[in-house]
Structure 1
Amino acid sequence: MGTAAGLRSAGRTWALGSCGIFYLGIAAIAWGAVTWVEVGAWTYHYSDRGDYAWEQARNYCQTFFTDLVAIQNKQEIEYLNRSLPFHKRYYWIGIRKLHGTWTWVGTRKALTKEAENWAAREPNNRRSNQDCVEIYIKRPQESGKWNDESCNQKKKALCYRASCQPFQCSQRGECVETIGSYRCECYPGFHGPECENVVQCAKLEPRGVHMNCSHPYGDFSYNSTCVFRCQEGFEQRGADTLRCLPSQQWSADTPTCTAISCPVLSAPDQGELNCSHLYGDFTFGSKCAFSCQTGFALTGPESRECTATGTWTGDSPHCEAVACPVLSVPDQGELNCSHLHGDFTFGSRCAFSCQTGFALMGPESRECTATGTWTGDTARCKAIACLALSAPDQGELNCSHLYGDFTFRSKCAFSCQTGFALMGPESRECTATGTWTGDSPHCEAITCPVLSAPDQGELNCSHLHGDFTFGSTCAFSCQTGFVLMGPESRKCTATGTWTGDNPRCKAITCPVLSAPDQGELNCSHLHGDFTFGSTCAFSCQTGFVLMGPETRECTATGRWTGDAPRCKATACPMLSAPSWGELNCSHLHGNFAFGSTCDFSCQTGFVLMGLESHECTAMGTWTGDTPQCKAISCPVLDPPSRGQLSCSHVHGNFTYNSTCTFSCEKGFLRMGAEMLWCEATGNWTRHAPVCEEDGAPFLKQVLAYSSGTALALAGIVLSGMLIALLAKRLSNREEKKKLLNPTSDLGSPGIFTNAAYDANL
């Protein structure tokens, strides 16, 4: 490791200032191979024994001190040139070319023209990779000047230990290194040796304005921000936001709030106005109440209020004379009125009368009162009434009324319900004397012929409106051992006839039985073939099993005991299709029974493992074991060189319906299909693609060359050499497409069509 040495000057003392105190002194310590001199807060150091390339020199300085020297003024250069010993390779300082700009590496700030200290014809007189800077110390010519050098050259490291620390200047200014000390350049709004003081603005105390302030550095100090807002109904005059500036002044004058004004109101005709004001006459919050003189009514709102928008609530009211509802002439009557203050207003009087044949119902006269209502109830003329009529029993009443229910000239028609006949007048009318014409009619039920019981049977009747009349119902029944032939009941209809035909009683029989398929029947009869008491025995042929009772008997209800038996063939276990396969069966005597034959097959992409056909034997077992369907396999795929392979397998690795996706690394182009899948033939849909180095940059260069006007005049401007090169490159790509997809042509799909290939160039 290199050694570090401070500036050693024979009999010379460094003078460095720190915090306003001028400090003089020298301290020399021998520590192995390291010698250093320290005075004040800022010190210089250099590598006494070792020479380093620029990066090594900077690492050395950052390891033992702060960084390579950052020179700030000509006095500092003179001091260094005077104090440092001569070295034939000179010293590295903290300047380097970064992204084409000479930069102080410690602060990452660009070198300004004012701070440049280059030697004559420098920098970059050799114009090649001279990105680091040395300082000529005690050089015979241009001593203290700078020169750019190759960063790999070996030189002394000229270091410094900084006096500026991260938290100096109160973090409110920039710490500037000086020889032996530092100074604070305060940011706007701050002052003091350490920028510890903040500029103060006058305290704001607005009246009638809501203020919300934020103080990052103290109440009403630099960068304090105050936002102003007026209450609802007030209007702000001045800026919304004020900020304390570095000049100790606010950015604007304090705003004020004034109440919003509404238009001046006046009292309505024949009325009065009474207002109260909070913030000034007819301004926001003012309320005005309206009233009218006796005999007049206020039309509109009783009060209005000045809103925050400068408008009054509601519309302007006015006073009108009190009115009563307009009276109308009663039907079949007359109206005679006298008015004092206007039609149908207070003091108006109206008299009522009726035409001949009608009677007045209500007061003979009414008067409009001060409250806008009429005395008494509404008068009307009512027609003379007859007694109310009602419909006859089992009948209906339909009336038409001219002047009211059952009044003069009302007409009522009579009718009977279905099954009844009207006895009396069909209609009656109310006369002027209040009586009805004619007598009251009535309805009588229609009669049917008398019924009698059948032989060996009985008759039971119910009568609603009289014996064997409309609505009568008669039920028929037979003695034990007989069954009723015909309707069980008959009803007398509205036409005077009975529903249905005459019933009769017949001996009970059971349904005729027959032998089951593949079976036999043997019966004995007591009262006739298949009648009550008959017994039948059942049996099955060899190879079939009887399902149901062995015997059945005809009961008194005409039904056989038990259910009908049947002969069922011996059954085998039910078969099901294998996974990815199909089952096709033929059955002679029932599903999966003796004699059934089942054939197995597999879906596309699968092969059958086992017997194709099975048969159900007489013992109820199948020939052979249940087969299986296995997916057809395709050859195993490998990822292409400089590419990747991603596969999904539905039925097993690299089997039917497996899909594989190919991709290429950056800078390589996939030549062939992006996706392959395993077909039912055991083959992949395409050849596996390959990854080839992308040649697109060449084509982009040709296209760039032919852009603009040259593209529009392609046939004229393009030189023969460019056309030949492009044709050759495209020819080579066509050859590669043919190698990758020998079966494809311009019109049929292959691994790549021309369009798909060109899209991937």
Structure 2
Amino acid sequence: MVTTGDCRWLTENEVDTNPPLCSLAVTTLGWTYHYSNKAMDWAQARQFCQENYTDMVVIQSQRENDHLVSLLPNRISSPYYWIGITKNHKNETWRWIGNNSTWIGNQSWAEDEPNNNYSNEFCVEIYVNKGKNRGKWNDEKCSNPKYAVCYKSQCTESSCVRGTCHETVENTTCLCEPGFKGDRCQTAQCTESSCVRGTCHETIENTTCLCEPGFKGDRCQTAVQCPHPSDPLNGVYSCREGNQTFNSTCQLKCHLFVLVIGSSAITCGATGVWSGPRPTCTSSDGCVWMWSCLSLLLHLSLLDEAQKKKETYPSKAARRSDESIQ
């Protein structure tokens, strides 16, 4: 701990010519406590705290209560300080300013307190004098003069990169957003769902996915896609379910009387290119065009048929020639 500011208590005969500020021992990471050198009513005390620090002190636990009392100096003539718990009506619940908490320790109040002795004791003072009431609370009229106890927040906009800053007596803590970690929530955190088909790498304020071959996208969620293959002469590609993504296959189907030359299947590769040499559709006798092959086959068939008729039925000229010879 270190002490900030030049503080000393004024004697009864001295005039306070310095600003009414003084700082307590502070922790290195958490909030700091401060107090006034002048007594003032509760509303003025809160205004003093808000103008010079963050707000009037808000006690969140018995541990903090005891810690605060151990730091506050004992003012012999008036050992009382305003704290930030109040209410507006006798039937209301005591609430802390700022966070609206209703925390009150089992032994926070002094003996026989709060008693609302004047029916309008709606503010609370804390005793720092020695004895059994040290650190105890008492309800008091808000118009009575007491010293202010303030705190200064150490949380800033830059305290937590991707989280919410929370302060305690001894440090600040960052409550990180989902997917982030680190003392300042500065590191993105990989989870099982960070990368669909890849490996997650943590970086400052982000995560990066190293995708498996054949996948892309910021989460490796999209399979690489190949363009639809161009149909060759005398054939058509058929792709299963119309899918042309990584590792999918397309089958070449040739027209009637035409054969597939090469492997009939092609596979979509990791880079979006179809694998291997493309198959072709070709007839066994070298014909490429199906209809030309059919025409040739028909022509050959007709020639063969004519030859058979010629051999079976000789021409009239040939028969007359044979008859004249006889």
**TM-score, scaled to structure 2:** 0.50
Larger Rg: 1
Is the helix fraction higher in 1 or 2? 2
**TM-score, scaled to structure 1:** 0.24
- Tell which has more relative contact order, 1 or 2 (C-alpha 8 A, sep 6+): 2
Is the strand fraction higher in 1 or 2? 1
